[in-house]
Structure 1
Amino acid sequence: MTVILLRHGVSTSNTARTLAGRAPGVELTERGTEQAAAVADRLAMLPIEHIASSPLLRCQRTVAPLAEKLGLEPEHDERLIEVDYGDWTGRPIAELITEPLWRVVQGHASGAVFPGGEGLAQVQQRAVAAIRDIERTLAEKAGRDVLWVACAHGDVIKSILADALGLHLDSFQRIAVEPASISVVRYSPHGPSVWKFNDTGADLSALAAAAPATPTPGGEVPTATNADNGNAGHRDSP
């Protein structure tokens, strides 16, 4: 099974440099809308059979063009929703970086619990469980491998990638996940393998073919790419 992890496009909170969290009404900017259309053009040539998404508006807007091209109805999954940042929701990033908890989030994420919100360890648990549950459901229904998309948020996707890479959650801030970037994880009976992460423009045609889920005898596996860092600095998470 192969999942394409898609982060939503640039949002109004990203450009305002605030922590959006689960605040309602956070829209895509004009740039974010352009990114959503570009992602749809990139992915529509692949045999994608399912789209799951965080129920938040910015994720819905991001997957809408792709869903229309593929003729699919996105499934909104609460387990893919943004981190509940509690009392931090909506506050300026410049203000939050002065909080003692910010340093905990950066260096000891597994112990970070947001005041009035949830802990990052909880986020990873629910997000990975969502991916695994959807994978099982699709496999049982189709009786074969399925290529699908999960659209979520920066910290949520980073926690999934940390799990797939075998990294401790405390290292998840070392993973970059830009707006509208894709990361690809293949799950096999031998465990997950990360094919791409933070990819914002590379050719994806190889995903349409039935590729091995484990390294070839020569040890070669598809490598991660980071073709465009133009959106670095737009974030909606610590």
Structure 2
Amino acid sequence: MAQVYDVLLVRHGESEANAQGRFAYETWDPPLTETGRQQALSLVEQLKNAPIRHIVTSPLLRAQETVQPLAEAFHCTPQILPDLAEVNLGIWDGKRLKDLEASHNEDFEAWRRDPEAYPPPGGESILSVGRRVLHALEDFVTSQEPGLTVAATHADCLKGAALVITRATGPAARTLFIPNCGQLLVRFLPSFHRWAVVLPPIHFA
């Protein structure tokens, strides 16, 4: 079989931003809540038999805290990949979701419908997020020994990656739900120079 590289994308556990219903990109770097810390511990149990060789993470605290227990369990030092960071939220960074909803902001409503055609003012489109995540992961995995890589990142990063791989359009992002510590297994195929979503998920029993 030709060489392939598997990456398990993991959304971070519940953060203080999630609990408060606030966007968090650059204006603050919230930690996990107690619930988020428990989710991170549960991740260790879920993946205890996985053939993990590498762990990479977004530079944001909530992602790093999510994979720290896993890194300790596998005696692995996580590597920070800046391009796994949260979507650039532009002028909405730090704002509460319910305040934006209550304002009936036309830009916000358009973004809710199609985050590709109407990115946050001063921010990123959903497909550009997916492309930067996949490019960063391709560069990483092809420079390492083969083995499963766990990558801690953010909900829109997982959605964007899924859209890029499946060649879906921006509105399709609104049909995807990624819970805290939700996971997506993807595979890079160097001989075809493309990514694939692995279905059904591999079970590490």
Q: What TM-score range do you get, normalising by the shorter chain?
A: 0.7 to 0.9
2:196 counterpart residue number: 193
Per-residue deviation, 1:90: 1.4
- Cα deviation digits, residues 194-215 of structure 1 (max 9, x gap): 2359x8xxx8226xxxxxxxxx
Paired residue type of 1:11: S
Structure with larger RCO (C-alpha < 8 A, sep 6+): 2
The question of whether the paired residues in 1 share the 8 Å contact of 2:9 and 2:151 is answered with yes
The question of whether the paired residues in 1 share the 8 Å contact of 2:90 and 2:122 is answered with yes
Gaps in structure 2 of 5+ consecutive residues? none
Report percent identity of matched pairs: 29
Paired residue type of 2:114: H
The question of whether the paired residues in 1 share the 8 Å contact of 2:130 and 2:162 is answered with no
SS of 2:143's equivalent in the other structure is helix
Per-residue deviation, 1:94: 1.1
Normalised by the size of structure 2, how large is the TM-score?
0.87
- Cα deviation digits, residues 163-186 of structure 1 (max 9, x gap): 222312331221111101111112
SS of 2:116's equivalent in the other structure is helix
1:159 pairs with 2:160 = yes
Size of the alignment, in residue pairs?
Answer: 197
1:81 pairs with 2:81 = no
- What does residue range 1-238 of structure 1 map to in structure 2 within 5 Å? 1-97=5-101, 98-138=104-144, 142=145, 145-188=146-189, 189-190=191-192, 191-195=194-198, 204-205=203-204
Over 3 Å counting, the alpha-carbon distance change for 1:61 and 1:196 in structure 2 is farther
Q: Which runs of 4+ in 1 moved over 4 A?
A: none
Paired residue type of 2:128: Q
The question of whether the paired residues in 2 share the 8 Å contact of 1:6 and 1:180 is answered with yes
The question of whether the paired residues in 1 share the 8 Å contact of 2:44 and 2:70 is answered with yes
1:231 counterpart residue number: none
Normalised by the size of structure 1, how large is the TM-score?
0.76
SS of 2:142's equivalent in the other structure is helix
The question of whether the paired residues in 2 share the 8 Å contact of 1:47 and 1:147 is answered with yes
Gaps in structure 1 of 5+ consecutive residues? 207-238
1:221 counterpart residue number: none
SS of 1:39's equivalent in the other structure is helix
1:214 counterpart residue number: none
